[in-house]
């Protein structure tokens, strides 16, 4: 795979992942009501990072934002922060990666400068993908914990008979899967950008062996020249010695 293709493909994959992170953050279905025990219900509940919604059997949907910040669970606020950090880093990486594309020539920007920008954008994409994956995973872990705690509360009692309670169980929503896929795409795209960075500067990897070989050849030439001079001097000295024996 050529450097240009690897860089362009990494840019496209990272862009798709970044768009998925934004979509996942804004979606309302991070957690949906579990309908295993009650598949037929008059209302259907689902929640997101920013609001909770109720959909009635008639098709009418009503959503209510979270009007409090301090009253929200700490895990939910952590997920919000991670997703926002991922979006910010992804946006910065996307903007600067446009100037680093090898197929786009901007001014007198040379390949070493583009290599540095490509590496920077790749690192930002990797961190953005990790933030999205961690944020979604933290929310999923919170859902699993609450699910089993609610299940245990529903079936407590001496005869292990189900007790009617007003608490609902929530399971994974579609936004979690979108976030996982988007974070993975952003991470893969960032890795491809970092790999393409190494190919943007081929002179640094090939110039050193050439200089090393040139140094060896020059050293051999100097040694050969010095050896020839010493041989000539020894021959001349031998000739002078022979001439001295015959007056």
pTM confidence score: 0.72
pLDDT tens-digit profile, the chain (247 residues): 687 888 889 999 999 999 999 999 999 999 988 877 665 667 788 899 999 999 887 778 889 999 888 888 889 999 999 999 999 999 999 999 988 887 777 666 677 888 888 899 999 999 999 999 999 999 999 988 887 776 666 666 544 444 444 467 888 999 999 999 999 999 999 999 998 888 776 554 444 444 454 455 555 555 555 555 544 444 444 444 443 444 4
Q: Which two tokens stand for residue 89?
A: 């880093």
Q: According to the model, what pLDDT value does residue 169 have?
A: 80
Measured distance CA(33)–CA(41) in Å, rounded: 10
First to last CA, the chain: 80
Q: According to the model, what pLDDT value does residue 156 have?
A: 66
Handedness of CA 66, 70, 76, 82 (dihedral sign): positive
Place of tokens 């000539």: 232
Q: According to the model, what pLDDT value does residue 167 have?
A: 62
Handedness of CA 207, 211, 212, 217 (dihedral sign): positive
Q: According to the model, what pLDDT value does residue 50 have?
A: 93
Query: 37: which DSSP letter?
Result: S
Measured distance CA(115)–CA(101) in Å, rounded: 9
CA-wise closest residue to 120 among 97, 138, 153, 104: 97
CA-wise closest residue to 169 among 153, 183, 184: 153
In whole angstroms, how far apart are CA 22 and each of 60, 91, 146, 175, 224?
Answer: 26, 10, 26, 11, 69
Q: Are 97 and 14 in contact (CB under 8 A)?
A: yes
């Amino acid at each position: 795979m050529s450097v240009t293709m690897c860089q362009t493909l990494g840019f496209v994959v990272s862009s798709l992942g970044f768009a998925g992170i934004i979509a996942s953050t804004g979606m309302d279905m991070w957690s949906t009501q579990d309908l295993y025990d009650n598949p037929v219900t008059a209302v259907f509940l689902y929640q997101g990072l920013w609001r909770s919604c109720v959909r009635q059997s008639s098709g009418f949907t009503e959503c209510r934002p979270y009007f409090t910040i301090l009253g929200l669970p700490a895990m939910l606020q952590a997920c919000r922060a991670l997703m926002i950090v991922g979006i910010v880093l992804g946006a910065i990486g996307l903007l600067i990666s446009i100037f680093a594309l090898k197929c786009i020539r901007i001014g007198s920007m040379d390949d070493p400068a583009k290599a540095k920008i490509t590496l920077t954008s790749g690192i930002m994409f990797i961190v953005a993908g990790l933030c999205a994956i961690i944020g979604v995973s933290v929310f999923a872990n919170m859902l699993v914990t609450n699910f089993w705690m609610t299940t245990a509360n529903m079936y407590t009692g001496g005869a292990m008979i189900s007790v009617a309670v007003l608490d609902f169980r929530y399971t994974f929503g579609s936004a979690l899967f979108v976030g996982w896929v988007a974070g993975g795409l952003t991470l893969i795209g960032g890795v491809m950008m970092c790999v393409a960075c190494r190919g943007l500067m081929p002179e640094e990897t090939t110039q050193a062996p050439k200089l090393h070989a040139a140094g060896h050849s020059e050293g051999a030439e100097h040694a050969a020249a010095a050896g020839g001079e010493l041989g000539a001097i020894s021959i001349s000295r031998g000739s002078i010695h022979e001439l001295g024996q015959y007056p």
